[in-house]
Amino acid sequence: METRPNHAQETIVDDAYMPPSLSPWRETWRLLRQNSMALIGLVIFMFFFGIALTGMLLTSGDAPILDPAQIRLQEKLRPPLARPNLETLQPAEVPELGIYLLGTDDLGRDVFARMLQGAWVSLTVGFVAVAIAVAIGIFLGGLSGYYGQEYIQVIQIVMVLIAGVALWLAATHAWPGAVFLAIGGAAGWLLYRRYAGGSKKSATPDALRWLSRPIMSVDTLIMRLVDIMLCFPSFFLILTVVALLPPSLYNIMVVIGLTSWMGTTRFVRAEFLSLREQDFVAAARALGISDMRIIFRHIMPNAVAPVLVSATLGIASAMLTEAGLSFLGFGVPPPHATWGNILSDGKDFIFDAPWLTFAPGIVILVVVLAFNLFGEGLRDILNPKLRKRT
Amino acid sequence: MLSFLGRSVIQKTITLFFVSVVSFLIIHLAPGEPSQIDPLNPKFTPEIVERMRKEFHLDRPLHIQYLLFYRDLFTGKTVSWRDNLPVLGKIWDRFLNSLPLFIVGTLLTWTFSFPVGIRSAIQRDGPYDKSMTFLAYLLISIPGFFFAYILIILVVTELHVPVIGMESFGVTSESKIVQIMDRIWHLVLPSFLGATGGIAVLSRYVRSQMLEIIGQDYVRTARAKGLAPERVYYHHALRNALLPFVTMFGLILPGLIGGSVIIESIFSWPGMGRMAYEAILARDYPVILTLNFITAVLVLLGTLISDLLYMLVDPRIRL
Amino acid sequence: MIGIIMNIRRFLIAAPAIITVILLLSYFWVPTYEDQTRGNPDRLKQYLTATIGDATILNPILSADSASSQIEGLVFEGLIDRNEDLSFRGRVAHSWRIYEHAYFFLREQAPTARWGQVDAGSLVARLKEAMTGPDWEHVKAIDLIASKTIPQNITLSEDGIEHTIAVQIQTPAQIRLTLDKVDQLLFEKLAPLLGKDYFADFNPADYVHAQSDIESSRLTALAGQVLSPTTHNPIIEFYLRPGVMFHDGQPVTAEDVQFTYQSIVNPKNLSPRIPDYEPVQSVEVVDPLTVRIIYKRLYSPALGTWAMGILPKHLLDAQALEAEARKRGQAPETFTMRQSTFSRHPIGSGPFKFGEWRSDQYIRLNRFDGYWEGPPNYQQYVMRIIPDPLTQEMEFYAGTIDDYSVLPHQVARLKQDERFQSFSGTAFGYSYIGYNSRRPPFDDPRVRRALGMAIDKHKIMEYVLYGQAEPITGPFVKQTDYYNHAIAPLPYDPEAAVDLLAEAGWVRGKDGFLQKEGRRLAFTLITNNGNPIRKAILAIAQDAWKKIGIQVETDLLEWSVFIQKRVNQLDFDAVVLAWSMGIEPDLFQIWHSSQSNPFQLNFVGFRNAEADDLILKIRREYDHPTQVAYSHRLHEIIADEQPYTFLFVNRWTALLDRRIVRQLTAADGSVVYKLIEPTKLGTYTFNFNQWIKLPQAPALAP
| pLDDT tens, position by position, C460-491 | 888 788 888 899 999 998 888 899 999 988 99
pLDDT at residue C289, rounded to an integer:
93
> Contact, C599 vs C568, CB < 8 A?
yes
Residue A39, in any domain of the structure: no
Whether the CB-CB separation of A367 and B196 falls below 8 Å is answered with: no
Which residues of chain A are at the C interface, by a Cβ-Cβ cutoff of 8 Å? 69, 71, 73-74, 76-77, 106-108, 243-247, 329-330, 333-335, 345, 347-352
Contact A244 B27 (CB under 8 A): yes
Cβ neighbours of residue C293 under 8 Å, at least 6 residues apart? C235, C236, C237, C238, C261, C280, C282, C283, C284, C302, C306
For residue C525, the distance in angstroms to the closest alpha carbon of chain A comes to: 13
CATH assignment at residue B281: 1.10.3720.10
Of A224, A245, A376, Cβ closest to residue B133: A376
Question: Considering C652, C674, C691, which residue would you say is the last residue of a domain?
Answer: C652
Does C547 reach chain A within 8 Å, measured CB to CB? no
- Please name the residue of chain C whose CA is at the shortest distance from the CA of residue A342: C532
Contacts A–C by Cβ distance under 8 A? 62
Last residue of a domain, one of C652, C670, C689: C652
Q: Which of B18, B52, B74 is the last residue of a domain?
A: B74
Give residue C292's pLDDT. 95
pTM score of the predicted model: 0.80
Q: Centre a 10 Å sphere on the Cβ of residue C518 and count the other Cβ atoms it contains.
A: 6
The whole-angstrom separation of Cα A42 and Cα A47 is 8
Instruction: Tell me the range of A93-102, B24-33, C226-235 where mean pLDDT is highest.
Output: C226-235
* Cβ-defined contact of B184 to C22 (cutoff 8 Å): yes
Query: What is the three-class DSSP state of C116?
Result: strand
Report the residue from C407, C530, C539 with minimal CB separation from A329: C530
For the cut 80, the answer to whether the pLDDT of residue B255 exceeds it is no
Q: Is B249 part of a structural domain of the chain? A: yes
Question: Which residues are bridge partners to C662 per DSSP?
Answer: C674, C691
| B162 contacts C36? CB cut-off 8 A | yes
pLDDT reported for residue C508:
86
The answer to whether C586 touches C477, Cβ cutoff 8 Å, is no
Domain that holds residue C509: 429-652
User: Helix (H, G, I), strand (E, B), or coil: what is residue B216?
Assistant: coil
Q: Is residue C308 part of a domain?
A: no
CA distances to A305, A354, A363, C673 from A79, rounded to whole Å, are 45, 9, 17, 44
Domain assignment present for B82: no
Residue ending a domain, choose from B51, B74, B97 = B74
Compute the half-sphere exposure of residue A54: CA atoms within 13 Å on the CB side of its CA.
Answer: 6
More confident residue, C295 or A251: C295
The pLDDT, as a whole number, for residue C291 is 95
Query: Is C57 in Cβ contact with B83 (below 8 Å)?
Result: yes
| Block mean pLDDT (10 aa), chain A, length 390 | 40 46 69 80 88 84 73 76 76 75 80 87 90 92 84 79 81 77 84 65 63 77 85 81 76 88 87 84 86 84 81 88 85 78 84 87 91 84 60
Domain-located, residue A15: no
Task: Judge whether residue B124 has pLDDT over 60.
Answer: yes
- Tens digits of per-residue pLDDT, A314-352? 898 898 888 888 888 787 776 678 888 888 888 888 888
- Put simply, the chain C residues between 4 and 33 with a CB less than 8 A from any chain B CB are 4-5, 8-9, 12-13, 15-16, 19, 22-33
**pLDDT given for residue B139 in this prediction:** 86
CB contact under 8 A, C409 and A335: no
Whether the pLDDT of residue C160 is over 80: the answer is no
Looking at the predicted structure, is the pLDDT value of residue B57 above 70?
Answer: yes
At residue B272, φ and ψ (nearest 5 deg) are -65, -45
Q: What values do phi and psi take at B57, rounded to 5?
A: 65, 20
Enclosing domain of residue A378: 47-382
Of C13, C395, C589, the CB nearest to B42: C589
Q: Which of C29, C362, C568 sits opposite B185 (nearest CB)?
A: C29
Average pLDDT of the segment spanning B183-195 = 89
Q: B110 with B245: CB under 8 angstroms?
A: no
Give a yes or no: residue C88 inside a domain: no
Integer Cα distance of C216 and C209 in angstroms: 10
CB contact under 8 A, A69 and C407: no
The predicted pLDDT at position A197 comes to: 55
Which tens digit of pLDDT belongs to each residue from C508-527? 888 888 888 888 888 999 99
A30 inside domain: no
Q: How many CB atoms lie within 10 A of CB C411?
A: 20
pLDDT at position C702 is 53
Distance from CA of A348 to the nearest CA of B (A): 11
Same domain, B245 and B130: yes
Q: Is the peptide bond before A68 cis (omega within 30 degrees of 0)?
A: no
Number of domains in chain A: 1
Closest CB to A345 among C462, C532, C561: C532
In this predicted structure, the answer to whether residue C692 has a pLDDT above a threshold of 50 is yes
CA distance C93 to C79: 5
Q: Which SS3 state, helix, strand or coil, does residue A7 take?
A: coil
Q: For residues C389 and C696, give the distance between their C-alpha atoms in angstroms, rounded to a whole number.
A: 28
B57 and B199 housed in the same domain:
no
Would the CA dihedral through C325, C326, C330, C333 be positive or negative?
Answer: positive
Q: Three-state SS for C660?
A: strand
Residues C103 and C64 in one domain: no
In whole numbers, what is the pLDDT of chain C averaged over residues? 86
Distance CA A330, CA C371 (A): 47
Q: Is residue C345 part of a domain?
A: yes
Do C377 and C663 contact (CB within 8 A), yes or no? yes
User: Does residue A363 sit within a domain?
Assistant: yes
Count of the separate structural domains present in chain C: 4
**C524 in reach of chain A (CB within 8 A):** no
- Write the pLDDT tens digit of every residue in C318-341: 999 999 988 888 888 888 888 888
Q: Peptide bond before A335: cis, by omega within 30 degrees of 0?
A: yes
Residue of chain A nearest B301, judged by CA positions:
A231
Most confident of B89-103, C199-213, C281-295: C281-295
- Residue B304: list chain A partners with CB under 8 A: none
Q: Which of B87, B152, A234 is nearest to C386 (CA)?
A: B152
Q: Note the pLDDT of residue B43.
A: 57
CA distance A360 to chain C (A): 18
**Residue A337 maps to a domain:** yes
For residue C573, being part of any structural domain is answered with yes
By DSSP bridging, strand C514-516 and strand C519-520 are antiparallel
Does residue B25 sit in the same domain as residue B170? no
Please tell me the predicted confidence (pLDDT) of residue A15. Answer: 46
With CA atoms as reference, the chain A residue closest to B200 would be A372
Burial of A205 (0-12, 13-18, 19+ CB in 10 A): exposed
Q: Does residue B79 fall inside a structural domain?
A: no
Query: Which of A107, A246, A351 is the closest to C539 by Cβ?
Result: A107
**C residues 398..417 contacting B (CB < 8 A):** 398, 400
Indicate whether C548 and C691 sit together in one domain: no
Mean pLDDT calculated for residue range C421-429: 86
- By C-alpha distance, the chain C residue nearest A73 is C463
B81 domain residue, yes or no = no
Task: Give me the DSSP letters along C286-298.
Answer: EETTEEEEEESS-
Residue A390 domain-assigned (yes or no)? no
Task: Tell me whether residues A320 and B143 touch, CB distance under 8 A.
Answer: yes
With an 8 Å Cβ cutoff, are A71 and C543 in contact?
yes
Residue B149 forms contact with A (CB below 8 Å) = yes
User: What percent of chain B is predicted at pLDDT more than 70?
Assistant: 91
Tally of domains within chain B = 2
Do C468 and C379 have their domain in common?
no
- CATH number of domain containing A200: 1.10.3720.10
Based on the fold, state whether residues C348 and C437 are members of the same structural domain.
no
Which residues in chain A have their CB less than 8 angstroms from residue C543's CB?
69, 71
**Cβ distance of A373 and B15 shorter than 8 Å:** no
C624 touches chain A (CB under 8 A): no
Phi, psi (deg, nearest 5) at residue B239: -60, -45
Cβ A365–B138 below 8 Å, yes or no?
yes
Residues in chain C with CB shorter than 8 Å from the CB of B283 are 560
Chains in touch with B (3+ beta-carbon pairs under 8 Å) read A, C
* Domain-embedded: residue C287: no
Contact A107 C410 (CB under 8 A): no
The three-state secondary structure class of C240 is: strand
Q: Which residue among A76, A246, A351 sits closest to C463, beta carbon to beta carbon? A: A76
Instruction: Write the CB contacts of C531 (distance below 8 Å, at least 6 apart in sequence).
Output: none
| Minimum distance, in Å, between the CA of residue B96 and any CA atom of chain C | 12
Interface of C with B in 508-537 (CB under 8 A): none
Asked whether the beta carbons of residue B134 and residue A37 sit closer than 8 angstroms, the reply is: yes
In a domain, A42, yes or no: no
Parallel/antiparallel/unpaired status of strands C574-580 and C522-528: parallel
Question: Residues C414, C559: one domain?
Answer: no
Distance from A85 to chain B by nearest Cα, in Å? 31
Which of C190, C213, C234 terminates a domain? The answer is C234
Q: Which residue of B has its CA nearest to A38?
A: B134
Contact criterion met (CB < 8 Å) for A246 and B31: yes
Decide: C169 and C222 in contact? Cβ < 8 Å. Answer: no
Q: Is residue A2 part of a domain?
A: no
B246 compared with A320, residue with greater pLDDT: A320
Cβ of B31 within 8 Å of Cβ of A340? The answer is: no
Query: CA nearest B275 in C: which residue?
Result: C360
Residue B9: give the domain boundaries: 2-74
Q: Is the predicted pLDDT of residue C213 greater than 80, yes or no? A: no
One domain, residues B141 and B42: no
* ipTM of this complex prediction, to 2 decimal places: 0.84
- State whether C110 and C48 are in the same domain: no
User: Please, are residues C239 and C289 in contact by the beta-carbon 8 Å criterion?
Assistant: yes
**Chain B interface mutation, best of C13, C19, C26, highest count of B Cβ atoms under 10 Å:** C26
Q: What are phi and psi of A320, to 5 degrees?
A: -70, -40
- Judged against a pLDDT cut of 90, whether residue B248 lies above it is answered with no
- pLDDT band of residue B172 (cuts 50, 70, 90) is low
Better-predicted residue by pLDDT, C41 or C542: C542
- Segment among C322-336, C356-370, C602-616 with least mean pLDDT: C322-336
The secondary structure of A230-250 as a DSSP string is HTS-HHHHHHHHHHHSPP-HH
C-alpha dist (Å) from residue C192 to C187, C189, C198, C252: 10, 7, 10, 48
Provide the pLDDT for residue A4: 41
How confident is the model over C139-155, as pLDDT tens digits? 888 888 888 887 777 76
CB contact under 8 A, A107 and C409: no
Domain limit, last residue, from B74, B98, B129: B74
Residue ranges of alpha helices (H) inside B43-175 are 46-55, 62-74, 87-122, 127-141, 144-159
pLDDT of C312 > 90? The answer is yes
- C347 Cα to chain B: minimum distance (Å): 18
C29, B83: Cβ pair inside 8 Å?
no
**Cβ-contact B113, B274 below 8 angstroms:** no
A164 burial class (0-12, 13-18, 19+ CB within 10 angstroms)? exposed
Residues C632 and C493 placed together within one structural domain of the fold: yes
C418 phi and psi angles, rounded to 5 deg: -60, -30
Query: Quick check: B215 and A386 CB within 8 A?
Result: yes
- B285 contact residues in A (CB cutoff 8 A): none
